[in-house]
Amino acid sequence: MTRAALVIAILSLMVSGGRADDAIGEWFATDPALQYAGVRAAVAEAAAPAVAAGVPSVLFVERLREAAAKRIKPDLLPAAIAAEAARLLSVNAAARESGFILDGPVRLAALRRASLLLRAGTGIASIKGAYRAAQLANRGAEAALEAVAVAADIRARTGIGVEGADLLASSLIRSSIDWPKYRSLEAIFVKGRASGLSGSTLVEIACGALDSGGTFVRIEQEIERRTGK
């Protein structure tokens, strides 16, 4: 690399880093943030560890906008941002440890989605497991996180437990099904439950079908075989 190119790269990093760091400050200069002026320093301090680790500060701005829209009390904001920072740090680390090199909008979307999953009650271990399965199956972070989200929703509706949800997510990721279609599995589980099959039986059927190269056709066929419906 020439000396000029090196200087340009360093300057680019400085400029982009500066912009990211300023995003929170810029938000505090807007009208909706007026009521939170008193906690500006505490919010910046709460977000600092994640921003220093490379988490885009725009993710915090989204949470600040949400808090303002919901008229969250100012004294609750630093703790909420600190909790968000902890979540973003852990999902950022999970992606890195799993070998995912995410960049740009894909990284932003993955961090946002993974943090939302943690807020909704999914454990970080489930996300790490899905990232590992996605790496092995040569799938992207979108597939991993969509599989975790679908499995979490199925878990909420059928009581399959964390272990069952993780098995389901891994099988979805390894399957030949395109990730935008993962949601159909939730509808298949609704049919299976209405047909009298328990959540654990449906996990067994779905994982067995997907792990043996099948798709939703085979899952449906097995449900119909077992229930006659």
Chain residues binding another protein by CB under 8 A are: 153, 156-161, 176, 181, 183-191, 193-194, 196-201, 204, 208, 212-218, 220-221, 225-226, 229
- Give least dist CB 216 to another protein, A: 6
- Give least dist CB 182 to another protein, A: 9
Is the dihedral angle over the CA atoms 115, 117, 123, 127 positive or is it negative?
negative
- Give least dist CB 130 to another protein, A: 19
- The long-range contacts involving 107-110, CB below 8 angstroms and separated by at least 24 positions, are 107/56, 108/56, 108/58, 108/59, 109/142, 110/141, 110/142, 110/145
| Token digits of residue 210 | 């997907």
* Nearer Cβ to another protein (129/214): 214
* Nearer Cβ to another protein (54/180): 180
* Nearer Cβ to another protein (12/227): 227
Give the C-alpha separation, 17 to 15, whole Å: 5
- Give least dist CB 208 to another protein, A: 6
Q: Give how far Cα 179 sits from Cα of 80, 141, 159, Å.
A: 31, 10, 23
- Give least dist CB 143 to another protein, A: 15
Q: Give how far Cα 127 sits from Cα of 13, 97, 102, Å.
A: 29, 11, 15
DSSP 121: T
Amino acid at 207: C
* Nearer Cβ to another protein (78/164): 164
Judge whether 20 and 58 are in contact, CB under 8 Å: yes
Judge whether 47 and 12 are in contact, CB under 8 Å: no
* Nearer Cβ to another protein (96/181): 181
- Give least dist CB 102 to another protein, A: 24
* Nearer Cβ to another protein (119/157): 157
